[in-house]
A and B are shown apart, each in its own frame.
Chain A
C-alpha cells in the first residue's frame, strides 16, 4: 500500500459517485487529535454511508467511546464499488472519515454485524485497508472486533475476526477499550491482549476454541483450548436502560441517510414471543426508558441536530407503557417547530387510535403492518398474537383517521405452510380493501394504496425455528408465483417479494459454522460484495464458491436439525435456553400459542441473569 496522499484522494473524489459519502465534516462529528489518543477505535459499518448513518448502534457506541478523553472513535463505511475499485487501482488504503487515517493505524477495527449479507463487505473493507483478512495471518496491526445481532452466531466469521462482543455493548465496549488500553500500557503481546479480552464477560475469541465434526458433517464437539476462554460465553445485558448512556447529539449527514432523523430508543427487548423473530429472543428482557428521560433526550437531540423528524424505536413500540403520553407530549412540544413524530414497527395488536390521531397532526406517512401470515392457524404457529379482527380494526381506525397508504408484510415458507395459508394472504388483502370502503367517502382520504410485501422465511439461531429447514429455491419460487397469481385477482394491491437466492444465502450464514468462512472467502475472491444490493448480488460467484469449497448450501439452508444435534452457536448463552426454544418449537408444530410473558413468565431462561424479570 502506498502512503496516503491527500492530493490523490481529492482526485479520486472528483470522479466518484456521491463523494460526500467519504468526506465527513458533518455537524457533531467528533474531531480529536489522532496521535494523542491512548486507544483508537475505527467503527466500521460494512455497508454504504447512507445505510450505516441510519443505524442507532453506531451512534450509541461512537458517543460512549468518544466521551472518554483518552479514547477516540472514528467512522468507516463500505465504499461504494466505484470508489472501492478506484482506491484499489490507486493503492489508497481505506481510511476513517474524521481524520482520514488508514485503518491499519488504529488499535481496534470494529465491525457491526446487522445482517448476514454484509459479510463479504467485512472482508472487502479489511483488504482495502491492507489488513490480512484471515486472523491467523495477522501478527501485528489492529485487533479486529465485531458485535451486533449477527455476532450471536459468530462462527462463519470466526476465521477473520479476533474478538466478538455478544450482547448489549454499552458496558462491554467500555471494558474492552479499557482492557486494550491497559494491555498497551503494559506492553502486552497480541496473544496476551486477546487473552485479557477473552476474560471479559460477553467476549468470544474464536482462536481459543476448536471445532470437531462428525462424518455426516454435523458438529461433534466445540470447546475452548486456552485457559482464558470460558466454555460458555454469556451475552451482556444492560439492566437499567434508563440510566444507560444515550448520545446527546447525532452526526447530521449532508448526503441523505436512509433514516435521517432523531431516534429515541424507547424500549429494548420484546415479550411477545414471535417464534420466527430473532431480535425478539436476543434482546430480552424488556427494558423501558422513562417518559422523563425520553423527553429530555428529545430536547437535547433537537437542539443539537435541527432535525425535522423524530422517530420512536423499539421492537414493538405499541407495548411501551407510556406510548400515548409520550406521543402527545412530543407532538405538543414540537408542533410549532414543525417537527413530525413517527412511530415505526407498529404492531397491529397495539395501535392506539389516539396515538394515530396525534401522530398525523403533523404528518401522515404510510401505515405499515406486519401480520406476517395469512391464516389464523399460521399466525398461531409463529405465535403472532394477532387476529384478523385486530388487523381490520387497526386499518379501519387508520382509514377513519385519514390514512390511505397501507403496507402489509408477510413471510412465505414458514414451517407447516400450505396453499391455504397463501390464499389467506389474498383474503386478508381483500378484507383491508373492503375495510377502506366501509369508511364513508367524506371521512376516508382519497387514493387507497395497499402493498403486500412477501419475504422468504429464514430460520435463525436462538429462535424456536432454529431446527427447521428452509424451503428450497424451487419451492420458494413456486410459492412466490402462486402468491402473485392470488394477489393479481385482488384489485388494487401491489405485490413485491424478495430475491429468494438472497434469502437462501442468508440462511446458510445465519446457521453456518466455521466452514462457511471458507465459502465466504472464496465468494469474496470471486468478486462478491455488497450482496445486500440487488444490483450487485453475484449469485454465480456464490455458487462457484460453494462448489469450489465442496460445501452443499442445502446442508446449511434446507436441512432440518434434530433435537440432539450440537449447534454451532450452542456455546453462547443468549439468555433464552435451548430447552425453552425446543418447547416452543414443539408447540409451534401443534399450532399452540404462548402468551406474552408480560402477563406471566413463560420460563424462557432470562431469569438466570441477576436482576432480570424479578417482578414477573
Chain B
C-alpha cells in the first residue's frame, strides 16, 4: 500500500529547499509512527518520492508526495499521525491510500498552476497580458538537460490572467517532455511589457495536475 500525501509549504517555509524538505518529511514520517517502508541495502532509507521538487523561495499550496508503507493503515489514522508530527507551518492537507501498482505521481504529472504576487512594476506587467496572449509563438531560452535551447513556450502556457492589480495566475506545462518554469513566462512577459528586467515576485504553486487537468492527487 502507498499513501499519497497532499501538503502545504508556505509562509516562512517557502525558503526551504527541496532536499531539506525531503529530509524534514522523512524525519516527520519517522516520528509519526506510521508503518513506513525502508529500502533494502547497506544504508536503509525511506522510499519517499515527491511529484515535483519546489525550488527555494517558492511556496506550494497542494504539493504531492508518495509514501510506501510496510503495513496497511487507514487514511484517517495516517493523516492524524502525520499531522501531529509536522510543524504547524508544514501541514498535511489530505491523504489518499492507493494500491502499490498505482503509477507514481511524478509519472502522471502534466501541468501546474501558479500564483505570483508581483512586487514591482505590476501595472506594466499586467497590462501586457492581453497582447502577450495574442501571440502565436513566444521564443525563449529554456534550460534543458542538454544545455540551453531556444523553444516556443507559447504552447506550454495553458492559462494566464491577472487576479487583481498585483497578482498574476497561470497554468503551465510541467512534465518530463516539456516544462515551462514560471520565471521563463515572467521573463517573456516582462519583455512584452517593455521592462528591462524580470520584476520581483513571490510565487506559489497552487495545484499540480495530471492529464485533462485533473488534480494530481485525485488521479
Contact = CB atoms under 8 A, between A and B. Distances in A.
A23 B12 contact: yes
Nearest to B27: A306
Contact of B12 (A14, A24, A27, A256): A24
A398 interface: no
Given A25-B11, A306-B85, A252 B24 contact: yes
Interface stretch (B14-22, B137-145, B184-192): B14-22
Given A29-B87, A254-B20, A19 B57 contact: yes
Contacts of B211: none
A256 B86 contact: no
Contacts of A175: none
A35 B147 CA distance: 53
A179 interface: no
CB-CB nearest 6 A-B residue pairs: A306-B30, A306-B27, A306-B31, A19-B15, A254-B20, A23-B12
29 contacts: A10-B202, A11-B119, A13-B57, A14-B200, A20-B17, A23-B12, A23-B13, A23-B15, A25-B12, A25-B13, A26-B87, A27-B24, A27-B28, A27-B31, A27-B86, A27-B87, A252-B24, A254-B23, A255-B17, A255-B20, A256-B20, A256-B23, A304-B31, A306-B26, A306-B31, A306-B32, A306-B85, A308-B27, A337-B30
B138 to A, nearest CB: 25
Contacts of A20: 15-17, 20, 56
A338 B12 contact: no
Interface of B: 11-13, 15-17, 20-21, 23-24, 26-33, 38, 43-45, 56-57, 85-90, 119, 200, 202
A305 interface: yes
A475 interface: no
Contacts, number: 78
Interface string A74-109: 000000000000000000000000000000000000
A248 to B, nearest CB: 13
A34 interface: no
Contacts of B29: 306
A29 B20 CA distance: 17
B18 to A, nearest CB: 11
Given A25-B90, A26-B87, A13 B15 contact: yes
Contacts of B57: 13-14, 19
Contacts of A10: 202
A308 B24 CA distance: 12
A223 interface: no
A307 interface: yes
A305 B24 contact: no
Interface string A295-308: 00000001111111
Contacts of B33: 303
Contacts of B23: 254, 256
B17 to A, nearest CB: 7
A295 B12 CA distance: 35
A30 to B, nearest CB: 11
Given A11-B200, A13-B15, A338-B38, A25 B119 contact: no
Interface string A218-256: 000000000000000000000000000000000010111
Interface residues of A, number: 30
Nearest to B201: A14
B16 A254 contact: yes
Nearest to B20: A254
B27 A252 contact: yes
Contacts of A23: 12-13, 15-16
Nearest to A249: B31
Given A20-B16, A256-B23, A25 B87 contact: yes
A27 B11 contact: no
Nearest to B25: A306
Nearest to B56: A19
B31 A305 contact: yes
Nearest to B11: A25
A307 B27 contact: yes
B197 to A, nearest CB: 14
B204 to A, nearest CB: 13
Contacts of B87: 25-29
A19 B13 CA distance: 10
A15 to B, nearest CB: 9
B198 to A, nearest CB: 12
A303 B27 CA distance: 10
Contacts of A7: 119
Interface in A306-340: 306-308, 337-338
A254 B56 CA distance: 12
Contacts of B89: 25
A306 B15 contact: no
Contacts of A308: 26-27, 30
A338 B29 CA distance: 13
A299 to B, nearest CB: 12
A254 B24 contact: yes
